């Protein structure tokens, strides 16, 4: 039985950022070594890594790598910590995190508040890696004079402890960051990353925004493959505002959760069409149940991630989706996840 329906009113009585801090505090008390049992059909190899389940925790929940193994114990097959910048930074003034309850959505303009890569390095180093995969999402400091240098620094600093790295150029809350998705800037960034990475180091993923123009997915796929990226994560939060009910709907920042779902799915389909399966894709944005995960896999995602749905449905969500997905695979006659990827 899930305790979350009992705990949720307490969490929702606090302002969103306090509730998040309290949640991390409680999670620290969970033993980090309970290995969840996943059906064999959920196991897959992506970018050379063995994932016990394709359901991952998206970046931003555990920015400072405080509870990655606890989240694995709760039933995520992989956990992406970060975004971590080379130096610690405060992020934007509060309030900067809003729950749009009527819309099952979140708006955040946190702005990469984090304790910096050195502290997170020690924490990830301490992970026992008994089950599941801990990836590290890296970004640039807001006041950095040379953003590309920050990513290069992140690749060098975090490679020794990360099972994979994510280059995040898609957060809307660091002014100008998303311009690194433009053709010339992306080429410059990814060639610097390619040069900096250790050939024996972890695979590197690229995380993109859902708000791209026509032709941009093609361009990004081409440049990512040329520079040997190992996967593309589609997508980050949106700066667009579909119809929303909540009084927070006009808050600035990135929107995630249910209203992001159609946009993220559309973006994933565009990236699948552009890549034809040549580079693995990771689907994220508005995933809340096994049907959503299944739809994303059929649309071309080898793995999926979620964050906002956990705010509304509790941390048992990963286990529930994994169970539902295994049943769905069996019902549809697929032996494993890899067989179903891109079959829509
Ligand atoms: C509060 C919050 C903070 C986030 N912080 C980050 C971040 O630091 N880096 C990043 O790449 N994505 C971040 N994200 C985006 C998520 O990783 C994910 O791409 C997005 O929320 C869509 O998934 P969802 O609808 O399941 O939440 C954040 C999302 C939320 C809600």
Of 44, 171, 275, 302, which residue is the catalytic one?
171
pLDDT at 232: 98
Please indicate whether residue 133, judged by its CB atom, sits closer than 6 Å to ligand 1.
no
The pLDDT value given to residue 217: 95
Q: Which residue among 20, 24, 57, 58 is best mutated to probe the pocket of ligand 1, counting the most ligand atoms within 8 A of its Cβ? A: 58
The pTM score is 0.97
Please state the atom number of ligand 1 nearest to the C-alpha of residue 82: 8
- The whole-number pLDDT of residue 131 equals 79
Specify the pLDDT at position 3.
64
Closest ligand 1 atom to 168 CA? 11
Residue 2 has what pLDDT? 64
SS (H, E, C) the chain: CCCHHHHHHHHHHCCHHHHHHHHHHHHCCCCCCCCCCCCHHHCEEECCEEECCCEEECCCCCCCCCCHHHHHHCCCCEEEEEEECCCCECCCCCCCEEEEHHHCEEEECCCCCECCHHHHHHHHHCCCCCCCEEEEEECCCCCCCCHHHHHHHHHHHHCCCCCEEEEECCCCCCCCHHHHHCHHHHHHHHHHHHHHCCCCCCCEEEEECCCCCCCHHHHHHHHHHHCCCCEEEECCCECCCCCCCCCCCCCCCEEEEHHHHHHHHHHHHHHHHHHCCCCCEEEECCCCCHHHHHHHHHCCEEEEEECHHHHHHCCCHHHHHHHHHHHHHHHHCCCCHHHHCCCC
What local confidence, expressed as pLDDT, does residue 170 receive?
87
Q: Is 110 in the pocket of ligand 1 (CB under 6 A)?
A: yes
Nearest CA to ligand 1 atom 26: 306
> What is the per-residue pLDDT for 278?
97
Residues of the chain with pLDDT under 70: 1-3, 6, 33, 35
Ligand 1 in reach of 56 Cβ (< 6 A): no
**Distance, CA 58 to ligand 1 centroid (Å)?**
6
Instruction: Tell me, in angstroms, the distance from the centre of ligand 1 to residue 332's CA.
Output: 31
Check residue 256 and give its pLDDT: 97
pLDDT in tens, 304-341: 999 999 999 988 999 999 999 999 999 999 999 999 99
With a 6 Å cutoff on the Cβ, whether 89 touches ligand 1 is no
- Find out whether the beta carbon of 286 lies less than 6 Å from any atom of ligand 1: yes
Nearest residue (by CA) to ligand 1, atom 7, is 60
**Residue 307, ligand 1, Cβ within 6 A:** yes
pLDDT for residue 110: 95
Is residue 2 part of the annotated active site? The answer reads: no
Probe ligand 1: pick from 164, 258, 307, max atoms within 8 Å of CB? 307
């Amino acid at each position: 039985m899930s305790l979350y329906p009992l705990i949720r009113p307490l969490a929702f009585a606090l302002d969103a950022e306090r509730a998040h801090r309290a949640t991390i505090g409680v999670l620290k008390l969970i033993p980090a070594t309970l290995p969840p049992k996943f059906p064999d059909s959920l196991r897959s190899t992506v970018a050379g890594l063995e994932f016990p389940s394709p359901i991952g925790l998206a970046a931003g929940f555990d920015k400072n790598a405080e509870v990655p193994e606890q989240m694995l114990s709760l039933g995520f097959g992989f956990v992406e910590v970060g975004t971590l910048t080379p130096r610690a930074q405060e992020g934007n003034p509060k309030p900067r995190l809003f729950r749009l309850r009527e819309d099952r959505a979140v708006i955040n303009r946190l702005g990469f508040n984090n304790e910096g890569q050195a502290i997170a390095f020690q924490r990830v180093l301490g992970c026992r890696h008994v089950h599941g995969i801990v990836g590290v999402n890296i970004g640039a400091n807001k006041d950095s004079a040379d953003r590309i240098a920050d990513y290069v620094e992140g690749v060098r600093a975090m490679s020794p402890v990360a099972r994979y790295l994510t280059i995040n150029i898609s957060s809307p809350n660091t002014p100008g960051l998303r311009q690194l998705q433009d053709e010339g800037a992306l080429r410059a960034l990814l060639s610097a990353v390619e040069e900096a990475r250790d050939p024996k180091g972890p695979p590197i993923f690229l995380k993109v925004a859902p708000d791209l123009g026509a032709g941009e997915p093609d361009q990004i796929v081409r440049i990512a493959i040329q520079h040997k990226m190992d996967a593309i994560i589609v997508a980050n939060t949106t700066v667009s505002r579909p119809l929303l009910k909540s009084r927070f709907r006009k808050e600035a920042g990135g929107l995630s959760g249910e209203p992001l779902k159609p946009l993220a799915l559309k973006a994933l389909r565009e990236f699948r069409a552009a890549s034809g399966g040549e580079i693995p894709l990771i689907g994220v944005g508005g995933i809340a149940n096994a049907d959503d995960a299944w739809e994303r896999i059929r649309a071309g995602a080898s793995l999926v991630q979620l964050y906002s749905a956990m705010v509304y449905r509790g941390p048992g969500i990963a286990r529930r989706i994994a169970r539902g997905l295994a049943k769905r695979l069996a019902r549809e006659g697929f032996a494993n996840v890899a067989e179903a990827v891109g079959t829509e």
